[in-house]
Structure 1
Amino acid sequence: MYGQRVWYKFPYETLSDLKVLCDGGLNFQKMCDATQWVDTVEVYLEHEDVNNEAEESESGPQGGQSDQGNGESGPQDGAESEIEMNEARENVEPDPRDERVAAIVGEFVDEEEYNEAHRDTPPASDDEEDDIGNGYERWRRGSGELKIMQVFESISEFKEAVLEYALMGGWNVKYTRWGDEISEAKCAVVGEVPCTWRVYCSYEKAVNLYMVKSYQEEHSCTKDGYCKLLTDYAIAKLLINEIRHNNALMPRFIQDIIQDRYNLTVTHDIARKARKRALEMISSEFDEQFARIKDYKEHILETNPGSSCDLVTTIRDDGVEIFDKFYVCFKALKTIWRAYCRPIIGIDGCFMKSTSKGQLLAAVGRDANNQIYPVAWGIVQVEDADNWKWFIERVKYDLNLQNGLGFTLISDKRQYTNFKYFLTVFFYLQGLIKAVEEELPYIEHRMCARHVYGNVKKLHPNKPKFKKLFWAVANSFNEGDYKAALKELKAFDSQIYDDLMARDPRTCTRAFFSTISTCEDGLNNFSESYNSGLKKARSLPLVEMLETMRRQTMVRIEVRKKKLLKYRKKYSEKVAKTIIEEGEQRKWCKKRTPGPNGVSEVEENSVSHTVNMDRRTCSCRRWDLTGIPCRHALKVILDKKLNAEDFVADCYLTTLWKQQYSDSITPVEGMKFWKETPGSQIEPPPRPAEKGRKKNPKKRMKSIHESPTKGKKVSRHLKVIHCYRCGMAGHNSLHCKHAGVPNKPRKIYPRKKKQSSQGESMSFDQRDAPGPSQPTQTSNLND
């Protein structure tokens, strides 16, 4: 075999493509690698001339004997032959394949052993599909390139490559041939001379892939800013993530996105159809996630044993299982709340923003720094009595609330603007209150003061002083201040007083709060803040929303855990802030009268308060309710030269704060790792058909009394307009009904003259000064 030359080629190649096959060489390895794509290899054997070998064998020994017999010329001839061989080697052109091998070997250091499963593990040599050989090259997604002999897995992948090429280059391309095994695209620019750009792809049996067999790369046209491949389906796939996060994205904004991103123009009709198709795709994703909700429940219980997860479904008349509600409470959260958190929770509901309407219910606690600590959440269709009872039952069981004795619950009272919404809120409140009374009869049920104020304010607008008077009532820490504030409110407006008393203000007033929870919260802001943080999650499909809530909880725990690693104080940040605020008010406490058994009398603004250092109480009830010394207690503590932090409740200890974030939720794998549970698939609840055009979601507009005006101009709110025709109040001249009344003369204000700088005045005088042909009065006088 070493005296012969061996060649090989593939069946689809010609004889001019023959390749030399060396025993153990690089070509031999390439031929072996290519056999996995080609069934047949043609091998050719070239024999050498026997007569020439015989003549050379006869003359060879004789010449050798004569040279050796002379003895003198042997060494010289050997040196000359060696020089000639070296010159021959220098004149031979290097093989590029050898250079590539040398370069690769030069860069080689050592293999890295991947003993563990890792996403960057290099594939085995048997799986090297990208290197097909013989000029074939696989398409790389994101490259935007098209090449001759480029191969694809399918025609759809080829069309994806053509679309990517058109978008990245801004070319107008259209399909002229299509089918299951062939596809052709040409330039779609209309001109006097058709553009020569063309690409053709069809199935290649030799490699069992689809290959580009004809490609005219150069365009002979000018870009027109359009692309016929940008159909509604293509745009929907390109912008599905944007529309998923903002389902109110209007067609004009879709046009702007395509223009900014690809410098291409699409019509308004195409953008409208693309938005509709994208919403249909998203809706199908929602349905798919409802079908996997059973698997999600089982996977949670498998990865987080001890957690509570409840799924409730209903059976339709045709036997189809429909989603109704879902509840989850992870073991780590409920264990931490039971052991280290204060016995207070806030519950609130908010609307989901996805195509499958529903409402999210959440139970949120407080940590040692008075920050939110979510405990449990659930999904229901509507906030009615049955669903609230179902949710409170599960929270009661997970948090071991029993009959509610020794615990505090905060909920809101919603505002209403019309009678229909009033009925909805009325039944909502009745359902929530009834559920709490049935399941937790002895719990302290506080109502959100802000919502109580909003309900009364709706009945009595244009009463700006009511805001100050109401919050004086709600923020009263003792019954003395409460009665004084109510008396002032009644003197201001007896009707407002009656409407407020009809809503039982004691449920939102600090003077009547229990001191067991060591929390003065009269607002449900921490629950609403938690719901506000889930604004983006609420627009996602069901499972994605639940997973986002879980991951946000894990991130929150990790962030605060890292923060606590650097915190060195004995108590949380809230304690230091409260002591500073109360310390500033201590200056009004002028006198301290010591009494027996650690009791002292402190006078503030001519009002005496009793401070008991042993019981850690004060008659103002601020110390009792918050667990942090009030201004009167600070007066006694500092007069005795004691440390204020020694009289703070233990629920604010930093050690307890760290324990609250010592454990977290066990990670949950992705959807592809979930085991499929037997039984029928769950379908989403029916979506009510909405009439008319969908309105853009907007943030709730705050009332003028809810937050101070942040502008730099005085608001015209509550100002009464007057008609300049008749001078009467309540209307303007356009709506004046006094046709015969003469116009009231307007007051003319002198218009201020614009003050110009000295330079401007000088230039003005020079510009407006008369020329020599028009002598002025000054020039005449001078003459």
Structure 2
Amino acid sequence: MIDVVDEHEEFMNELLRKLNGDEQVSDPFKAIVAVESFPIHDDKTNWRMKKPILSEKYVNAKQFKDCLTYYALVNGFSLWYHRSSENEVIAKCGQRPLRLKNPDAGTLGFYCIIFMKYNRYPSVGKGDEPKCSLRCFGRKMKTEDSFQVVSLVDEHTCVRSFRFRSLINYKWIGKEFGDKIWANPNIRLVDIADLVLKKYKCSVTLNQCSKATTWALSEYDKSIQQHYALLRSYGDELLTSNPGSTVKIGVTQNPDGKVYFDRFYVCLNGLKKGWKRGCRRIIALDGCFLKKPNQGELLTAIGRDGNNHIYPIAWAVVSVENKDNWTWFLELLAGDLEINGGVGITLMSDQHKGLIEAVKDVMPYAEHRQCARHIYENFRKKYSGVEFRNLFWAASKASYPVLFDTIMDRIRAANPNAATYLIERNPKSWSRAFFETNRGCRMWQLSGLPCPHACSAIFAMGKSPKDYIPAWFRKDMYIGTYSTYLRPAGGISCWVPNNLNKPLPPQPKKMPGMPKRKRRRAAHESGSGVRIPKTGVVMTCQLCHEEGHNKRGCKNVPKDKPVKVSKPLVRPRKDGRPSGAQSGVGASNTAAGSHV
């Protein structure tokens, strides 16, 4: 050890002498890079800056042709390949004037057609016009495994072209705009053509766009199958990077022997430890649909930290939201969080029947609350209006039962059926007036913070209100929530192959009726923002002039449109005399006065 220290001290002293003197110091850690005799093409260059350079080297002929394609798109060159193989590529200008056998007739003769078949682009056009000299020749190098530009004539004299023939095919469109097609499989062909024209100034046909859509979706389906086959390796990587986590995968096997994905559960060790240390004992359960091409639903369990921020606990992907999958999810969640039958736990969810039944079986002692927003979504379908909206939320936020009963009396006075509907939804699960209490002040119990009256009493006793705040709101609990961290998992290249059966993507289920392309908007979501929605508007038939239907579904006898009685435009007299008499008298008096 002493020798190492001495050697290091000697090295540092020598380095200081060189720095203080005029002797040049070389960096011992600087890598020596071999100087290339020819430039190497950088594939990460922006497509607008790609350009073939004389003596530039490429990986293969495909990379060279891709560079030529972007170069032609930027400059509007219509290239065609005189030769195209893995060993050599010759690209020339694709614009040539056509030879006509009879220029006056304006048609192509038989000889000209045969000639163009073997010599697609003649070197000299009609009238001995000079040909375009654009030409690029590349071939595979003999000294190394690279593709190099041997000769380049970068002089183009033709007009700009918007049709690039064989340079742009359906596969190229599918590769360039695959993300747009995958995000919206029902995208119109015209929209794809507009995207190509807007970005690359290139005109493509609808047939090319149709083939590009089919090719992109088929390639995406292949990638989806490969991703599902890696699920077991992904689960192993999560367990390796985050020891103590819970990862479960369920599959179904058909009679033909094929294995299909069924469900997948994840609860990372850092999340479960953080919830146990500092989160409030309330868990929100919900599910949502997954977009195509991934079939199924996402189940989530979300907590709340001391600052009332959301805290993810666990999630699962299942084929369908039902009692069986919710029971499986809650059993795994209860085991990870060490919840014994739900004692001391408050659950909040929507009104899904399968979830309600699963909670009764797995966590029977948990206080199960329902989301007031979901209840209002169903309530407003039958009883809409601003008055019902304000009364419902006032009943939901009522802090004690007497106030709740008072608001329900107002709802009952407006519509008895509306009050009956809300009572049937079990107000104990969605109104704060019936939540469990341990103190005398309701606002103190609901918020967890002492109210002004409680603070006055606490100060009178000579104590601090901080001593009466729950532990969930304290700094040490909040720090304990995030004291654990999630370790990043390695990429796909780091995953260890799993020899178990590789699941296939779940088989799509065809639902009855026409598939909907737009998502259903909730009550609190606005429309397009252009026009007022017609929700709740009463229609009037133009045939029978009755309300409740339109002329398409009218089964009544057509009637004449009722005549509207117009109101008099002249203001009536206070003494009841007709206004015409007043005007007549005034007119006669005026006439008499003028006569005098």
What interval of TM-score do these two structures reach, taking the shorter chain for normalisation? 0.7 to 0.9
Unaligned runs of 5+ in 1: 1-107, 115-121, 414-428, 517-616, 751-783
> Is the partner of 2:392 in helix, strand or coil?
helix
Aligned to 2:501: 680
Unaligned runs of 5+ in 2: 1-23, 99-124, 126-130, 571-596
Cα pair 2:296 2:318 within 8 Å, conserved: yes
Q: 1:662 aligned to 2:500?
A: no
| CA offset digits 1:61-84 (Å, max 9, x no partner) | xxxxxxxxxxxxxxxxxxxxxxxx
Counting only pairs closer than 5 Å after superposition, residues 198-209 of structure 1 correspond to structure 2 as 198-209=135-146
Partner of 1:149: 55
Structure 1 residue matching 2:174: 3-state secondary structure: helix
Query: For the Cα contact (< 8 Å) 1:171–1:226, is it kept in 2?
Result: no
Alignment correspondent of 1:230? 168
Q: In the alignment, residue 627 of structure 1 is paired with which amino acid?
A: G
Structure 2 Cα separation of the partners of residues 630 and 708 of structure 1: 37
1:246: how far off?
Answer: 4.8
Decide whether the 8 Å contact of 2:283 with 2:301 is kept in 1.
Answer: yes
What does 1:132-531 correspond to in 2, within 5 Å?
A: 133=37, 136-141=38-43, 142=45, 143-191=49-97, 193=125, 194-228=131-165, 229-247=167-185, 249-413=187-351, 429-458=352-381, 460-515=382-437
Looking at structure 2, the residues matched to 200 and 308 of structure 1 have their Cα atoms a distance apart, in angstroms, of: 59
Is the 1:476–1:510 contact (alpha carbons within 8 Å) kept by the matching residues of 2?
yes
Distance apart, 1:382 and its partner CA: 0.6
- Displacement of 1:369 in angstroms is 0.9
Give the deviation of 1:159 after TM superposition: 1.8
1:405 is displaced (CA, Å) by: 0.9
Rounded Cα–Cα distance in structure 1 between residues aligned with 2:337 and 2:261:
26
User: TM (normalized to structure 1)?
Assistant: 0.59
Measured against aligned partners, the alpha-carbon deviations of 1:203-238 in whole angstroms (never above 9, x if no partner) come to 332334333334332112111222232212112212
Deviation readout 1:306-356 (Å, 9 max, x if unpaired): 111111112232323221111111111100101111111011111111302
Report deviation, 1:732.
8.5
User: What is the distance in 2 between the residues matched to 1:650 and 1:377?
Assistant: 27
Residue 264 of structure 2 aligns to a residue whose secondary structure is strand
User: Displacement of 1:737 after TM fit?
Assistant: 5.4
Alpha-carbon offset, residue 406 of structure 1: 0.8
**Stretch of structure 1 that moved more, 344-353 or 661-670:** 661-670
Cα shift at 1:367: 0.5
SS at match of 1:618: coil
Q: Is the 8 A contact 2:277 2:477 kept in 1?
A: no
Change (3 A) 1:412 1:179: same
Alpha-carbon distance between aligned partners in 1 of 2:288 and 2:512, rounded to the nearest angstrom: 23
Please say if residues 448 and 508 of structure 1, whose CA atoms lie closer than 8 Å, have aligned partners that are also in contact: yes
Deviations 1:38-60 (A, max 9, x none): xxxxxxxxxxxxxxxxxxxxxxx
Question: Secondary structure of the residue that 1:313 maps to in structure 2?
Answer: strand
CA contact (8 A) 1:726 1:744 kept: no
Residue pair 1:726, 1:742 contacting (<8 A) in 2 also? no
1:510-565 Cα deviation digits (max 9, x unpaired):
1222358xxxxxxxxxxxxxxxxxxxxxxxxxxxxxxxxxxxxxxxxxxxxxxxxx
Work out the CA distance in 1 between the residues paired with 2:296 and 2:534.
39
Give the Cα–Cα distance (whole angstroms) in 2 for the partners of residues 195 and 710 of structure 1.
Answer: 53
CA distance in 2, matches of 1:709, 1:156: 48
Residue identity opposite 2:440 in structure 1: C
Q: Whole-Å Cα distance in 2 between the matches of residues 261 and 678 of structure 1? A: 45
* Shift of residue 456, structure 1, vs aligned partner: 2.9
| Structure 1 pair 109–204 and aligned structure 2 pair: CA distance change class (3 A) | same
Which is worse superposed, 249-258 or 740-749? Answer: 740-749
| CA-CA distance at 1:267 after TM superposition | 2.7
Q: TM-score, normalised by structure 2?
A: 0.76
Question: For the residues of structure 2 that align with 1:688 and 1:207, how far apart are their CA atoms?
Answer: 54
How large is the Cα RMSD of the aligned pairs? 3.5
AA partner of residue 400 (structure 2): N
Do the aligned partners of 2:545 and 2:561 also contact (CA within 8 Å) in 1? no
Q: In structure 2, what is the Cα distance between the partners aligned to 1:628 and 1:387?
A: 38
> What is the distance in 2 between the residues matched to 1:224 and 1:692?
47
Would you say the 8 A contact 1:314–1:321 is kept in 2?
Answer: yes
TM superposition shift of 1:138: 2.9
> Does structure 1 conserve the Cα–Cα contact (< 8 Å) formed by 2:284 and 2:303?
yes
What is the aligned counterpart of 2:440 among 610, 613, 618? 618
Kept after mapping to 2: 8 A contact 1:725/1:744: no
8 Å CA contact 1:726–1:743 kept in 2: the answer is no
Task: Identify the residue that residue 701 of structure 1 maps to in structure 2.
Answer: 521
Shift in Å at residue 495 of structure 1? 1.8
Q: What is the distance in 1 between the residues matched to 2:392 and 2:137? A: 78
Q: Work out whether residues 277 and 480 of structure 2, in 8 Å CA contact, stay in contact via their aligned partners in 1.
A: no
Deviation at 1:507, TM superposition (A): 1.3
User: Could you tell me whether the CA contact under 8 Å between 2:61 and 2:89 is conserved in 1?
Assistant: yes
Q: Does 1:650 align with 2:475?
A: no
Mapped to 2, the partners of 1:109 and 1:381 lie a distance apart of 66
Query: Match of 1:614?
Result: none
Q: CA deviation at 1:702?
A: 3.7
Q: Give the CA deviation at 1:434.
A: 1.7
1:166 Cα deviation after fit: 1.9
Task: Give 1:716 shift.
Answer: 7.5
